[in-house]
Amino acid sequence: MLTPTAPTTVRALIAPDKFKGSLTAAEVADALAAGLRSAGSGSGSVHCELLPLADGGDGSVDAAVASGFTRRSYTVAGPTGQPIRSSIAFDGFTAVVEVANTCGLGLLPDGTLDPLGASSRGFGEAVLFALSLKPARIVLALGGSASTDGGMGMLTALGYSFRDADGRQLYGNGRALAQIHTVHRTALPELADTELIVASDVHNPLLGTQGAPAVFGPQKGASPQDIAILEQGLEHFVAKLAEAGFADATVLVGHEGAGSAGGLGYACQLLGAKQVSGADYFLDLLDFNTRKDSCDVVITGEGSLDEQTLAGKLPAAVARRSGARPIIAVAGRSLLPKARWPEMAVTRVYALADYTNQDSAKDPGLSATLLRRIGRDIGASLL
């Protein structure tokens, strides 16, 4: 007589990045998990552990909250000065503060780009709020900025005063950079006692052909004339900081990452921040290694799998850390032929574009439906 086979339980760690413009990382993970669970049968089931991820861009606060941090809300000035309700993540030791949910492109009124008028002030206000909680460390997630002000806006919120030739206080934005006549700093003791970490995988310098205005300005609506104004304004900004006694003001211009988030990387380095790989830092912060060790398979993904993914974006970092267990990637679209999957150690790629003729990139409902279908197909393949 045959002994009945015990049902199989497969443990899956679902650790995706966001599908930009469509779904947050948490929404991607939820949809995949729903599909995986629906694939269960008498022969087995899939146990899902969800770990929405971020790499220092938009969604960093949400990812930290999903992993156990507490959300703390606060009102800040949006990219064009309008008050917005934002939030940081805090676990009693580390605070995560994000550009995208304070002064990001997605917060511009009516989506109207404002390359010269947008400011990073709201990000500085969020950092100030984080400092009031007395963290040992603040993680500065710089992706998604609407401004190219070199961090002037952030610095005004943190005690820096920028005045024009008539002594009037300047509101930090790209247009105001060229108007700076004097710079004065009021020391914040809290900053001296707090470790600052910039989590970013952007390596551009502040100025030049690979700098913030030239490379990222067009994404923020900057015309060629605007780019020239911003480049000259940032040069003036640096010169005035050096004139005011900031010894590192000039040398930091060429540092890797100084051009991230419209030059916010430069201002953060001026404050003594250390830049680290956004993908790897967040994987450590969210305890990825411990979580994947208890799972049989890892499912990761992002909106588009392409050459940039192979260059070290989040799914590649996840795959690199996942060891010998099967790694499955899910994407809105995949530009990587099967022959190149081994380059990021994935065993299978599922793309929403293979399940529909419609464009799901701007359709959250369709994206979620397709992810559930893909989750069900992955589940069936595992059992």
The residue behind tokens 């961090």 is 151
User: How many whole angstroms separate alpha carbon 138 and alpha carbon 326?
Assistant: 34
Q: The CATH number of the domain where 363 resides is what?
A: 3.40.50.10350
Sign of the alpha-carbon dihedral angle for 361, 364, 370, 376: positive
Same domain as 191, residue 131: yes
Instruction: Give, as one character, the DSSP assignment of residue 169.
Output: B
Q: Side chain identity at 319, as an amino acid letter? A: A
Scored b (16 or more CB within 10 A) or e, 29-59 reads bbbbbebbbebbeeebbbbbbbbbbbbbbbb
Identify the domain containing residue 40 by its residue range: 8-53+297-382
Q: List per-residue pLDDT tens for the chain, 383 residues long.
A: 444 445 688 999 999 999 988 999 999 999 999 999 998 766 688 999 999 999 888 899 999 998 899 999 999 999 999 999 999 999 999 999 999 999 999 999 999 999 999 999 999 999 999 999 999 999 999 989 999 999 999 999 999 999 999 999 999 999 999 999 999 988 787 888 899 999 988 899 999 999 999 999 999 999 999 999 999 999 999 999 999 998 899 999 999 999 999 999 999 999 999 999 889 999 999 999 999 999 999 999 999 999 888 887 899 999 999 988 999 999 999 999 999 999 889 999 999 999 999 989 889 999 999 999 999 999 999 98
Same domain as 352, residue 263: no
Same domain as 237, residue 121: yes
Sign of the alpha-carbon dihedral angle for 62, 66, 67, 69: positive
DSSP assignments along 311-361, one per residue: TT-HHHHHHHHSTTS-EEEEEEEE-S-GGGGGGGT-SEEEEGGGT-SS--T
Same domain as 323, residue 208: no
Q: Which segments within 30-116 are labelled E, that is strand?
A: 44-50, 70-77, 83-90, 94-98
Same domain as 180, residue 82: yes
